[in-house]
Amino acid sequence: MKKRFYVFVALIVLLLAAPQLFAQYNRDLVVSVMRDNVRLLGEINKALQAEDFYATALSLMELAGGSRTLQQTPPPGGSRAEWNRIHGEMIDAAFRAVGACGAKDAAAVQAEVANLIALRNEGHSKFR
């Protein structure tokens, strides 16, 4: 009787731990988002120089979308909470930059782009 209880408890523990055990780093997805990020930073700088705030905002939202996707996948190693925080801050900075596009404030957009680059550097120092 006791044995059946232990088997039952072990089964519950296994079920609860399963998502953590099987959550695997998706390298193809991360590399694809990273290459999009490089392209998008280029597009953002180009559009900003031309004072095309509409195109700038579209590329910023695409960049935020990539960070949102990565927030939902595990890091290659290290702290999941830290991974989520950095991607969350990328999204926040992109949102603020979109707001600055609405105000047609190129300097404020530029300041948020600098934040995005600082977050990239932080992400690479911790996870790459």
- Residue 30 CB, nearest distance to ligand HEM (Å)? 5
With CB under 6 A as the contact rule, the residue among 8, 11, 17, 35 that binds ligand HEM is: 35
Whole-number Å distance between alpha carbons of 91 and 75: 17
**Structure tokens that stand for 34 in this block:** 């990273």
Whole-number Å distance between alpha carbons of 6 and 24: 29
In the bound state with ligand HEM, the residue whose beta carbon lies nearer, of 55 and 84, is: 84
Contact 112, 100 (CB under 8 A): yes
Q: Interface residues for ligand HEM in 72-111 (CB under 6 A)?
A: 76, 83, 86-87, 90
- If one asks whether residue 38 binds ligand HEM (CB under 6 A), the answer comes out as yes
- If one asks whether residue 61 binds ligand HEM (CB under 6 A), the answer comes out as no
- If one asks whether residue 59 binds ligand HEM (CB under 6 A), the answer comes out as no
Q: Where would I find the H helices in 1-128?
A: 2-22, 27-49, 53-71, 80-102, 106-127
- If one asks whether residue 28 binds ligand HEM (CB under 6 A), the answer comes out as no
- Radius of gyration of the chain measured on its C-alpha atoms: 20
Question: Contact positions toward ligand HEM, by CB under 6 A?
Answer: 27, 30-31, 34-35, 37-38, 41, 76, 83, 86-87, 90, 116, 119-120, 123-124, 127-128
